[in-house]
Amino acid sequence: MRLNPEVWALVRQVRRPTLTVLAGVMLIAPWSLVPAGERPVAPAAEVEMADAVAPEAMAQARDAVASAWRDRILYRERARVAEQYASRFRIPIGLAEDIHWAAQKERIDPHLAFRLVRAESSFRTTAVSPVGAVGLTQVMPATANWLVPGTAGEDLLDARFNLRIGFRYLRKLMDMYGDAELALLAYNRGPGVVDSMLDEGLDPDNGYSEMVLTGDRTRHQEHIAAQAAARAATPEPPARRGASF
């Protein structure tokens, strides 16, 4: 007799060999469909053992079915949500799935996660900044090595790894500051700069958190332009002359 593929898959989920056989037998066609003369007669001891373990086998089988359905529902829901994000941000669905997965792993609101990646790299996996920040979340290699010792720069080009590292760093900052906007500013400027400015009574806001949360880059770009103008207006110290002989 050949088992239905779904029944066979269920039977295989029941781990103990004895329970596997029993669950399989109970999931085959009902005994009423088997001619009485062809039904095997089990010894009394085996019948008693089967009666004793059958409820446990059935409970395990029910748990396996419930777990399979739960996993299937969760998979469908994750796929549906990823498809919505992919459409909204106009990115491949595979990348949307990776961002959503990493955000859940590191306890980051997916809405914030997608906006962070958009602000940092415009969803470019191989993005590298002039100062050496790498990948989708533009993590500095030193920061990555602090979070996961032994991390090499090229490791950050792996999309899933980069997302986990970037979101883990943001999670730490959010736990540290208890405020999403301050955490984002620390992500961009560094916690040392933010802490120093706060200690001096200064406002560390440079428009970055607004850029992430709303997509409006105006204030952040104005801040960057003002910094560049200030550096250009500051005369460089004269070069030191070599010793004369």
Active site residues: 120
Overall size of the chain counted in residues? 245
What's the CA gap between 104 and 207, in Å, rounded?
Answer: 26
Both tokens assigned to 120:
């940092």
At position 132, the amino acid (one-letter code) is: G
- Give the end-to-end CA distance of the chain in Å, rounded to a whole number: 101
Residue 128, SS3? strand
Residue in the structure block whose two tokens are 């090595």:
145
In 3-state terms, what secondary structure has residue 134? strand
Q: Comparing C-alpha atoms, which of 143, 134, 84, 89 is closest to residue 114?
A: 89
